[in-house]
A and B are shown apart, each in its own frame.
Chain A
Amino acid sequence: MQVVSLRSDAHTDAEPVSGRKSSGVDSAAAMIEIDHVSQRFQTSGKQSHLALSDINLTIEDGAFVSILGPSGCGKSTLLYIVGGFVQPTDGVAKVKGKAITGPGPDRGPVFQEFALFPWKNVLGNVMYGLRQQGVKRAEAEARGRKLLEMVGLKGYENFYPKELSGGMKQRVAIARTLAYDPAVLLMDEPFGALDAHTRTRLQNDLLDIWDRQRKTVLFVTHSVEEAVYLSDKVIVMSRSPGSIKQIVDIDLPRPRKRADLLLDARFQKYIVDIEKMIDDGGKDHL
């Protein structure tokens, strides 16, 4: 039984797939392209479960895109495929035009469970990626301290993750990922384990950082309000099999202020519309 998987059946697609054209969107601006991706999981016995069915998606450079849907719709799986953690059963996922064959520092994950290294202190966690990239210790330390200041954790460098609150842990995790400057941030329900107040503050801080750095963000969430508040584009998925139901462009001005948006009729309408879409999907499967 292999529980820790260090290897993956990296399937390199060097040659272009003939007969299939990718979505026809201008690929110069495309950061992530998902081309006919399906994911099938072997369940107990001979059955298999189609977690993702023929997903096609293009995400432009610098876009903030949320993936929304009921549990079991494969939204996290889709994120893991882009991360290179999971290999799709069918189809190709590309980043900057190159087929994804495994994880890489151009795509930085942030998980709901924080996944900080418990044996390293806060600064050690943030420095980890820099040291892996070959940055000298002194410079990595200086940059680590700066990042911690940016996420509001100056003075906590020598704390261990266990000594921090959930919100602070997630700030460390975000700093750890930003440290190696990925072009894409892959956020898997990053604020799902936090209380409402902390969640709002982290959403605002994330928007601040994104405004400054304009990284491409792929953001998986359960919360319609969070998705609309943060994103340029919300991808609504349905389950069994996991597929894209609709893509909603969020046409709200930036920088966004939560207090203003809550009173904004357009913001409210987006939320109501998307909630209806998810609800319709739910009825079929109840």
Chain B
Amino acid sequence: MTQTRINSVLLGITPIVLFIALWQSLISFGFAPTSLLPPPGAVFGKLAKDFFNGDFLHDIAATLIRLFAGFGIAVVVGVFIGLAAAVSPAINAVVKPLVRVLAPIPKIALYPALLLILGFDHASKITLVTADALFPILLSTYYGASMVEQKLIWSAMAAGTPRWQILFKVVLPAAMPSILTGCRIGLVISCIVVFLAEMITSTDGLGHMLVQAARTFQTVDMFVPLIMISMLGLILNSLLHWLRSYLLRGFPEV
């Protein structure tokens, strides 16, 4: 590891350490009673212990399934519609007003309806995650695909690429930087929405765990799922970052 890389990692960790120190000092100096704000040591200790607890692992699994399924469907549908709208004026004419009408709706407002239609299990939460993550991915795919350099397409066509293949051989890879940016936003939104949905109505999952703990004043248990979802977000974002630098290895840095 180079010196600059070590430095930037240190710089990145510092505020997190400071934040935990501030949290601890609030308790140490008596600003908040331990019964209401548990010390970070207790929370992390409980988190470590919970990893050997079947119920906790089940909650994590439930949240992850909803997150991945919802986000995955959003990527497939968003990229597909975004590409189609960018290359076909007819599809664009159909999709554009629909997106304009649906995008500003707070998707969480659909959740009661989704619960009634799809029930309390995975389906309603997955649908909600998809609905929320879809639009940033769709829009960034559309703009990325719309702005593909015309001469890249011409170069491929002159080399003998049939028109129908241009979409997959040129437009999709050329729009990849923009698509992945949309995915990144969509992933963060997915993390937030899956947790929120589980908090509102669920029988399992990290969000449900938090609400249960809050209702019974189990303050330590209340912070454990928060730390967990934040760690999941960090891990998933790192994975996406790694995927991004692999897929975009030939693109100029933006």
**Residues of A participating in the B interface, judged by any CB pair closer than 8 Å:** 1-7, 83-85, 102-105, 107-109, 111, 113, 115, 117-121, 128-129, 132-133, 160-162, 176-177, 179-180, 182
Contact = CB atoms under 8 A, between A and B. Distances in A.
A119 B250 contact: yes
B159 A4 contact: no
A161 B250 contact: yes
Given A118-B250, A119-B250, A109 B158 contact: yes
Interface residues of B, number: 36
Contact of A3 (B147, B155, B247, B248): B147
Contacts of B161: 132
Nearest to A173: B155
A105 B151 CA distance: 15
Contacts, number: 101
19 contacts: A1-B92, A3-B86, A4-B148, A5-B150, A6-B87, A6-B163, A85-B157, A103-B157, A104-B160, A105-B159, A111-B154, A117-B152, A117-B156, A119-B247, A119-B250, A128-B159, A129-B160, A162-B250, A180-B159
A118 B86 contact: no
B108 interface: no
Contact of A4 (B87, B160, B248, B250): B87
Interface of B: 86-89, 92, 145-161, 163, 166-167, 170-171, 173-174, 176, 247-252
Contact of A115 (B86, B155, B248): B155
Contacts of B88: 2
Contact of A83 (B158, B166, B167): B158
A140 to B, nearest CB: 12
A117 B151 contact: no
